[in-house]
């Protein structure tokens, strides 16, 4: 299962094409560092939350759109080595000078995969989730995620990935700790569902939410009120290996 760098980024809506161009250029760099895939997904259905949400997570402004993006590596060693090289790479430093978004409000972290289900494909739509989960309930969370993944795949999902935080840096403005309202003894989970298109996703969720077996119960292994999620349309899906 892949090692993942996961990002949530606020981008001025008017800079969409500039962002895609910037990401396309960055893909070549990550390919050289051993990454196997890079996905950039543009916010399409990102709801407001009562406590927190993906827009609040990055202090998104009214004229900005939230992106949910990730980079996959074949293993943790490759991913960690890539991070070290990026910190000392002149090309990376040059690329960071002219970003079409406010990098101080981008949140990012590295994650170990705990579940990967489905053969994948070319997704036309992505559901992205971020939540803080008590470390003591990791196994319970995985069991719940496995059950849910089977249901998603049954209703047309191409791939489901769940990842558990491995390295979550603190940011000057915001970060995953603050975004998830993380409490002591909790880890951050970053996950996504790949769908062939939005209609398939919408139909699937309608059926899943009506299924008695999928209703949240009192034994949920995390605080659902602090889960952040949204629907995203891929604007770049680069297979790098």
Q: State which CATH number among 3.40.190.290, 3.20.20.370, 3.30.40.10, 3.30.70.100 fits the domain covering 3-233.
A: 3.30.70.100
DSSP for 196-223 reads: S-HHHHHHHHHHHHT-GGGS--TT-SS-
Q: Is the pLDDT of residue 87 over 90?
A: no
pLDDT number for residue 85: 87
How many angstroms separate the CA atoms of 207 and 53, rounded? 24
- pLDDT mean over 177-190: 98
Instruction: Evaluate if residue 96 carries a pLDDT over 80.
Output: no
Cα(166)–Cα(182) distance, integer angstroms: 15
User: pTM for the full model?
Assistant: 0.96
Q: Is the pLDDT of residue 90 over 90?
A: no
User: Quick one: which of 231, 237, 192, 241 has its CA closest to 65?
Assistant: 231
d(CA 93, CA 112) in angstroms, rounded, equals 26
pLDDT, position 211 = 81
Cross-strand bridge partners of residue 68:
8, 41
- Rounded mean pLDDT, 108-117: 98
In the prediction, which pLDDT does 91 show?
72
Neighbours of 127 (CB within 10 A): 23
Calculate the dihedral angle through the C-alpha atoms of 218, 221, 226, 230, rounding to the nearest 10 degrees.
-100
pLDDT(92) > 80: no
Whole-number mean pLDDT of the chain?
A: 94
**Could you tell me which residues come within 8 angstroms of residue 210 by beta carbon, excluding any fewer than 6 positions away?**
none
Inter-residue contact 41 to 67 (CB < 8 Å): yes
Residue 215 above 90 pLDDT? no
**Average pLDDT of 132-141?**
98
Grade residue 117 by pLDDT with cuts at 50, 70 and 90.
very high
Q: pLDDT tens digits, residue range 7-25?
A: 999 999 999 999 999 999 9
Count of alpha carbons within 13 angstroms of residue 52, beta-carbon side = 23
Percent of the chain with pLDDT over 70: 98
């Amino acid at each position: 299962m892949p090692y993942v760098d996961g990002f949530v980024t606020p981008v001025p809506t008017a800079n969409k094409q500039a962002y895609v161009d910037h990401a396309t250029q960055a893909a070549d760099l990550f390919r050289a560092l051993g990454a196997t895939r890079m996905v950039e997904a543009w916010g399409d259905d990102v709801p407001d939350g009562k406590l927190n949400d993906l827009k609040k997570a990055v202090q998104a402004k009214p004229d900005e759109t939230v992106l949910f993006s990730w980079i996959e590596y074949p293993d943790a060693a490759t991913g960690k080595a890539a991070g070290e090289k990026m910190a000392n790479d002149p090309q990376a430093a040059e690329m960071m000078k002219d970003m079409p978004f406010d990098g101080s409000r981008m949140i990012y972290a590295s994650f170990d995969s705990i579940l990967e289900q489905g053969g994948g494909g070319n997704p036309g739509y992505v559901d992205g989730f971020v939540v803080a989960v008590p470390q003591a309930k990791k196994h319970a969370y995985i069991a719940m995620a496995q059950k849910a993944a089977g249901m998603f795949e049954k209703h047309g999902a191409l791939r489901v990935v769940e990842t558990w935080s491995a390295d979550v840096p603190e940011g000057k403005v915001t970060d995953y700790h603050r975004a998830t309202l993380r409490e002591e003894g909790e880890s951050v989970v970053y996950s996504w569902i790949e769908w062939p298109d939005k209609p398939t996703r919408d139909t699937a969720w309608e059926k899943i939410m009506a299924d008695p077996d999928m209703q949240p119960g009192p034994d949920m292994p995390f605080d659902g009120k602090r889960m952040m999620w949204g629907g995203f349309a891929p604007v770049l899906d680069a297979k790098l290996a």
